[in-house]
Structure 1
Amino acid sequence: MQPIVPPEIEAYCTAHSSAPSALLVELQAYTTRNCADAQMLIGPLEAAFLQMLVRLSGARRVLEVGTFTGYSALAMAEALPADGTLLTCEIDPDRAAIARRFFERSPHGRRIELRLGAARETLRGLPPDDRFDMAFIDADKEGYLEYYDAILPRLSAGGLLVADNTLWSGDVLDPQRPSARAVDAFNRHVREDDRVAHVLVPLRDGVMLVRKR
């Protein structure tokens, strides 16, 4: 991931934002040491941003597509109220195993349910009346449109959907690779959807915020 914001600016923002918990710091270090794709981790600045969104929205039920090693799920769970719950979907059993180990060590881990398997199947298998106050999508970019269309009907009125990597290292300006074309198609789909209000924020690799009307 090429930085959109200069690294020194991001470092300054991180230093002047709420600090991550000790367990999140440990999880980030573990992921960096042990996972070749550690760049997929959202990092402390975006984690603080997600926590703020959970608190501002008053979310009690959160849905996540793309657990990876559990950093974002654990960050959001820390911001949930005592009766809040978070459902997270992960297809990679090795990554899910790491996440579960860290969830078990957190007092907030009891709020998290991890479903192993393809998120498409997990979403299809949810009860028809299952509703969420907030959703976070950070998975395969070619699936973003499908995830969006599956999740939006399940968001409560005024619910918030957050999609990560929506600038794709700036490649959305000239989308040549399939992943960049998929992200650009997602952004255009959201822009044309009159069911929502939205804003694309140049935080890290781009974050699309979508509020259901």
Structure 2
Amino acid sequence: MEEATSGEPNEEFRKIKKGLLQSDELLQYILETSVYPREPQPLKEIRDATAHHQRKLMLTTPDAGQLMVLLLKLINAKKTIEIGVFTGYSLLLTALSIPDDGKIIAIDIDREAFELGYPIIEKAGVQHKIDFIEAPGLEVLDRLLEDPNNEDSFDYVFVDADKDNYINYHEKLMRLVKIGGLILYDNTLWFGTVALPNCLIPEKMKYDRDHIIEFNKSLSNDSRIQISQVPVGDGLTICRRLY
């Protein structure tokens, strides 16, 4: 998950770009019509628990979450990875969506944020599906790759971590995810800055923006995957492994 200083736009930028939809009213319509009425109560509770966190913008948006649930169900995901957990909204929606004997390897360097949402995960009765590992994502993926049985075995991965490592994550995940499996990358539109001239970008957002732009180009040129970049949340890119 991204650092708070790089992920939070300043007031000057808010005036330039106010949401990917360019309309607060349209987003609210989508949420109130299609998302909130179907959002499970435990997910609402994690949103509420995170509402006053200083890095609350890092929370997966509920409209993106709804799409993720649909994808998990469509592919009957059972064995999954999540890189970047924060307080656990996307982790919980995955745990609620996979079978009772399904597993999630949940990776984050910040156990304190995870523990904010953990009581809600526990109350939902899905904690047994989660293996939380407090460590850098690349380090954990390298450990997984040491076991040949892990290669081509995962159904689904969600990545919402350090943006400058997305390319590095991708190469390792392409060995771990099975053919037909999905890898989802969050924040691939980076508050819409990917389409704005450099002179309009707040300085603290440029580093991650540049890495996201490079990553988006690399996915576009990767013949091993089928992709769809969806303008929900802060941009969600869905990759399906072809070979």
Give the TM-score normalised by structure 2: 0.83
In structure 2, list runs of 5 or more residues that go unmatched: 1-8, 10-17, 199-205
Tell me how far 1:196 sits from its aligned partner. Answer: 0.6
In structure 1, list runs of 5 or more residues that go unmatched: none
Q: Which residue of 2 aligns with 1:27?
A: 46
1:143 alignment partner, one of 165, 168, 171: 165
SS in 2 for 1:183: helix
1:9 alignment partner, one of 22, 26, 40: 26
User: Following the alignment from structure 2 to structure 1, what is the Cα–Cα distance between the partners of residues 75 and 185?
Assistant: 16
For the pair shown, which has the larger CA radius of gyration, 1 or 2? 2
Q: Which residue of 2 aligns with 1:125?
A: 143
Q: Which residue of 1 aligns with 2:101?
A: 83
Specify the code of the residue in structure 2 equivalent to 1:62. T
User: Following the alignment from structure 2 to structure 1, what is the Cα–Cα distance between the partners of residues 103 and 24?
Assistant: 34
Alpha-carbon RMSD: 1.5
SS in 1 for 2:185: strand
Q: Residues 108-187 of structure 1: matches in 2 within 5 Å?
A: 108-126=126-144, 127-130=147-150, 131-174=153-196, 176=198, 177-187=206-216
User: What percentage of residue pairs aligned between the two structures are identical?
Assistant: 29
Higher helix share: 2
Q: Which residue of 2 aligns with 1:191?
A: 220
SS in 2 for 1:17: helix
Are the equivalent residues in 2 in contact too, given 1:47–1:76 (CA < 8 A)? no
User: Following the alignment from structure 1 to structure 2, what is the Cα–Cα distance between the partners of residues 58 and 14?
Assistant: 25
Specify the code of the residue in structure 2 equivalent to 1:11. Q
Give the TM-score normalised by structure 1: 0.94
Are the equivalent residues in 2 in contact too, given 1:132–1:159 (CA < 8 A)? yes
Tell me how far 1:175 sits from its aligned partner. Answer: 6.8
User: Following the alignment from structure 2 to structure 1, what is the Cα–Cα distance between the partners of residues 106 and 194?
Assistant: 27
Q: Deviations over 1:147-192 (max 9, x none)?
A: 1111111111100111111000111124741100100111111111
Tell me how far 1:102 sits from its aligned partner. Answer: 2.7
